[in-house]
Structure 1
């Protein structure tokens, strides 16, 4: 994948960075931890401007958040609540749970988007709850842009500083991403088991 990313940037320049970062948000297996350090290395060679690398990475990342945001927006809280009340029993999920989650996102969503855009493993997925909770698009874009700019700048500068060893960034970040995803899976499993037990207790009573 490293060669493909490098070849695309070599042939398309800044537009290649933008396109790759859009794809990274829609298809997370294409990691920004490879894209931006590689672009930073290109800037270190003098082939690109570091400022433009960060700008195009940020722009591509923000554009890439929009498909999932609009999917979440189209689905919406009301439809999700109705679905959960009708079909969510096997997931121990109710409309009330959805409303609680939506209320949480309404309260902390801006911070979740801002900091979540810098967290591997969940940065792409935050667009869905943002859309479902109907976070205003300008607000979503502003916080996404700030978080994406910080993330893109950190990765690009790391590639710039490491030079030919820019691929070490992905080696360091990838385990962190796996740990975060693992913790999310464990947390979801624990919540599922707890709700099953609670349902069993209510039924037994």
Structure 2
């Protein structure tokens, strides 16, 4: 991307975004699949030119988008903005990714799209449905799943509050996503976040529970 293109990107993004030199946060969840990114060494091996990224923050988590895999040798420029929800942050990156970087729908990470609730979009409906159809096959090849623990008051030992950072770190990790977390002490209702995890992980829910409950710090009963 030529230096003059930065003005075009800023105009497309509109107000609310700030530009700064450097890469997106290292713990950001990437909205596009890594396989869709161009090699930074090849792109930045010649005349210095800017490599543009977008970084959107919501609910304590950064989400990132760009055409080129992060590389120190590149002259990186990132546009930052905060959003009120992860859904709106990811949806904005998807829309701008198509408009600015010419990404196609299959190049986005459908697990991230599903995690924030964007499967209702017409452009992702088929891909989300295909992902749901593949889950029983993955569970079958992984062997029988352990029975899920009891829900509600009968479970007794399940805490009502767990750390949001730990819950998301375990969830994104099991979905194969990179998420370093934000280190905040915010807590959420365990059953509410467990419901989201159950819809995404299916038979692996107990593994997620062990990850969250085994590593929780300061969870209130």
Shorter-chain TM-score bucket reads under 0.3
Q: Which has the higher strand share?
A: 2
Could you tell me the TM-score, scaled by structure 1's length?
Answer: 0.26
> Structure with the greater relative contact order (CA < 8 A, sep ≥ 6): 1 or 2?
1
Q: Which has the higher helix share?
A: 1
Could you tell me the TM-score, scaled by structure 2's length?
Answer: 0.25
